[in-house]
Amino acid sequence: MNPLLLFLIPLLPLLGGVFNACCGSRLPQRLVAAVAVLSVAGSFLSSLLLWPLGAGEGTRTVLFSWLQSGGFRADAGILFDPLAAVMTLMVTGVATLIHLYAAGYMEHDENQARFFALLNLFVFAMLCIVLADNLLFLFLGWEGVGFCSYGLIGFWYRKTENASAGRKAFIVTRIGDLFFAIALLWLFREFGTILIEQINARAVELDPLLLTVLTLLLLGGACGKSAQLPLMTWLPDAMAGPTPVSALIHAATMVTAGVYLLCRMFPLVSLSTTGMAAIALVGVLTALYAASCAVAQREIKRVLAYSTMSQIGYMFFAVGVGSVSGAMFHLLTHAFFKALLFMGAGCVIHLAGNENDIYRMGGLKRKSPQVFWLFLIGILCLAGTPLTGGFFSKDEILLTAFARGDGFSAILWGLGVLTAGLTSFYSFRLLYLVFFGEPRQAEKGHSVSPLMLWTLPLLALFGLFGGLLNLPHLFGGHQWLSHWLGQPAGVSLSLGTELGLLLLMLIFFGGGWLIAHLRYRRFPGDEQADWRSFLLNGWQFDRFYEFILVRPYRTVCRFCWQGGDKALIDGIMDGISRLCLHWGGYARKLTTGQVAFYLQGFAWGLLLIVGWFLLSAVK
């Protein structure tokens, strides 16, 4: 099998995106959608057929060298190892279903060519991140994902809030990108190479302090893309984009890029104890923060956005406690059920007459039982219902943290369990408010496209049974994913302890469901409280950043504009122009148009010249 065939995986979505960008506006809309779907589906089939190349040490192949200067060389190269193979299959598979869904969701939109071009390019950029064999190629995909997210989140840019959300996502993630860029340059300075395998292999040569600094820089980059504290404020606002964009960003791409970066660079980051503790702490705190915010949200997609932030936090937590397999396991199961939930939310919004407020919904179970049952499966996975994929992946992370045995990990484990209880509560709160009770929406809903509806069952299936990917020995499994990644699970707990922890998880899950059931099985009416407003606005982080960052920046900009540009620079230029005009007024008086005046001038000029020559002759 020719390794160069691996380039088909990223190139097919790139070709689809370029084709639609150049020719899509002159083609029938169905053909535009077909090109987009087939290009991503072709990438998925290529990933499936080339899967054997990812076994063992994997396969590295280079198409060409695109930058070379002195000792620096950057190749357009692919590293298709077990980690990349799993991620590639997930990205292309879920993206194919989302593209199919988008073909139905956007069928009446006038700008399908632009939409599907950006969607294809988004997938291409994510595949560059996943498959890159060097940090510069990875950074190219990293920036490409940011650019495409700007275009897709602000796709309906004629609404000011949508355009603002796109700009916000672009600017906030750029802050994280700066940290990543510094780490990239620093690593090249230390090792003289940007090849990921060589950097990871030689990481032990670095000074411990430098290792910690580099780990924290990589963590900063990952926080930007994955919306973790403190660079998390862009993600809830990203819901301004079309629902397929929300599904793609939150399930298969972008927000998982940070987790993947840390997993890819794990041999380096794992050498720093401080760095690993920071990664775990950021993950747990973000998970708890986002779960608390989800409890009070009113818009269906914002609930899911905060839940994504929280679940990505669990993945960071897994990396921080040393479990790459746990992080990837939760990443995969989360991709399935979160794509299901977002795409189901799109169906719900259609059924509710484009209503987003869950307090203005209700009664949709009777209106569309099929959407209800599919959405219920996603909710069960998100809440961590026993024997679902979400239960097994989240449980593995918490068991790994508990098994470390130190006090710091025990505190983080406790916060993780508390977050699991909050997750169960807000998940079932969402379910009750949307599907139960009497209809509360003002507008009459419209039917859901079959193309939207029939992409959901496959995701529901993978969400429910995704736990089989890494089923623990306690349940008769063999932890296939851990062995495939070469990261055997490090959990060494007695059977009694493990069963006790599982029972505790069940108690928190059941408690969350019970509170939601008692509170929301009947519509409680609009809930108004100061603490709800605090959580609804994300702990007022936007206002905080506005106060400490945006306002001072605007003040400095205003001073530079008013004082520097207008007063100083414009003042000097205006003064020079006024001076020229003033002296020009005197010069204009010499051009009277009278011949006698001009002759007089010639006479005086001739007299001066003759006088000059006479003085010169005397000397």
DSSP symbols for 556-599: HHHHIIIIIIIIIIHHHHHHHHHHHHHHHHHHHHT----HHHHH
**Residue 54 belongs to some domain of the structure:** no
In which band, very low, low, confident or very high, does the pLDDT at 89 lie, cut at 50, 70 and 90? very high
User: What one-character DSSP code corresponds to residue 468?
Assistant: G
Handedness of CA 18, 19, 23, 25 (dihedral sign): negative
pLDDT tens digit sequence for 127-157: 999 999 999 999 999 999 999 999 999 999 9
Can you tell me the distance from the alpha carbon of 49 to that of 44, in angstroms, rounded to the nearest whole number? 9
User: For position 615, what pLDDT does the model report?
Assistant: 83
Q: Is residue 23 part of a domain?
A: no
CB 528 within 8 A of CB 408: no
Q: Answer yes or no: do 575 and 609 share one domain.
A: yes
Mean pLDDT of the region 512-539: 87
Q: Residue 392: CA atoms inside 13 Å, Cβ hemisphere, count?
A: 25
**pLDDT by residue (tens digit) across 372-406?**
999 999 999 999 999 999 999 999 999 999 999 88
For 583-600, what is the mean pLDDT? 76
In the structure, what pLDDT confidence band is assigned to residue 495 with cuts at 50, 70 and 90? Answer: confident
Residues 341 and 358 in one domain: yes
pTM of the model: 0.91
Query: Angle 392-394-400 (CA atoms, 0-180°, nearest 5)?
Result: 100
Of 536, 555, 574, the last residue of a domain is 536
pLDDT band for position 108 (50/70/90)?
Answer: confident
Answer yes or no: is 142 within a domain: no
For residue 120, is it within any domain? no
Picking from 90-94, 161-165, 588-592, which range would have the lowest pLDDT averaged per residue?
588-592
Residue 466 lies in a domain: yes
Pair 396, 446 in one domain: yes
pLDDT of residue 52: 94
Banded pLDDT at 513 (limits 50, 70, 90)? very high
**Number of Cα atoms under 13 Å in the Cβ half of residue 470:** 30
Q: Which of 493, 492, 471, 474 is nearest to 482 (CA)?
A: 471
Tracing tokens 């928190």 back to the chain, one arrives at 508
Of the given ranges (56-70, 116-130, 380-394), which has the lowest mean pLDDT? Answer: 56-70
Average pLDDT value for residue range 193-215: 95
- How would residue 607 be classed by pLDDT, with cut points 50, 70 and 90? confident
* 39 falls within a domain: no
Whether 557 and 601 share a structural domain = yes
Distances from the Cα of 452 to the Cα of 346, 374, 385, angstroms: 9, 12, 26
Distance between start and end Cα atoms, the chain: 98
> Has residue 605 got a pLDDT over 90?
no
Does the pLDDT of residue 565 top 90, yes or no? no
- Is the pLDDT at 71 greater than 70, yes or no? yes
What is the spatial distance between Cα 225 and Cα 444, in angstroms, rounded to a whole number? Answer: 38
Residues 6+ apart with CB under 8 A from 154: 162, 163, 164, 165, 166, 167, 240, 241
Do residues 505 and 579 both lie within one domain? no
Bond prior to 552 in cis (omega within 30° of 0): no
Helix (H) / strand (E) element for 169: namely helix 160-191
327 and 457 housed in the same domain:
yes
Dihedral, 352, 356, 360, 364 alpha carbons, nearest 10: 40
Q: Are residues 387 and 528 in the same domain?
A: yes
Please give the share of the chain, as a percent, with pLDDT higher than 70.
99
Domain count, the chain: 2
Helix (H, G, I), strand (E, B) or coil at 59: strand
For residue 600, being part of any structural domain is answered with yes
Instruction: State pLDDT tens for residues 411-439.
Output: 999 999 999 999 999 999 999 999 998 88
Contact 336, 374 (CB under 8 A): no
Looking at the fold, whether 397 and 319 belong to one and the same domain comes out as yes
Q: Is the pLDDT of residue 606 over 80?
A: yes
Residue ending a domain, among 536, 567, 587, is 536
Do 426 and 321 share a structural domain?
Answer: yes
CA angle 505–510–516, rounded 5-degree value: 130
> DSSP letter string over 496-552?
HHHHHHHHHHHHHHHHHHHHHHHHHSS-------HHHHHHHTGGGHHHHHIIIIIHH
Does residue 554 share a domain with residue 439?
no
pLDDT tens figures, 320-372: 999 999 999 999 999 999 999 999 999 999 898 888 999 999 889 988 999 99
Question: Which of helix, strand or coil describes residue 199?
Answer: helix
Question: What residue numbers bound the domain in which 599 lies?
Answer: 545-618
303 in a structural domain = yes
The residue out of 491, 518, 536 marking a domain boundary is 536
Going by C-beta distance under 8 Å and a sequence separation of 6 or more, which residues neighbour residue 190? Answer: 206, 210
Strand-pairing partners, residue 69, are 72
The pLDDT of residue 512 is above 90: yes
Closest CA to 251 of 115, 427, 382, 395: 382
- Give the confidence band of 619 by pLDDT, cuts at 50, 70, 90: low
Give the tokens for residue 241. Answer: 């984009």
**Whether residue 517 is found in the same domain as residue 597:** no
pLDDT at 491: 63
pLDDT at 489 (0 to 100): 56
Same domain assignment for residues 459 and 507:
yes
Which stretch, 6-15, 153-162, 568-577, 602-611, has highest mean pLDDT? 6-15
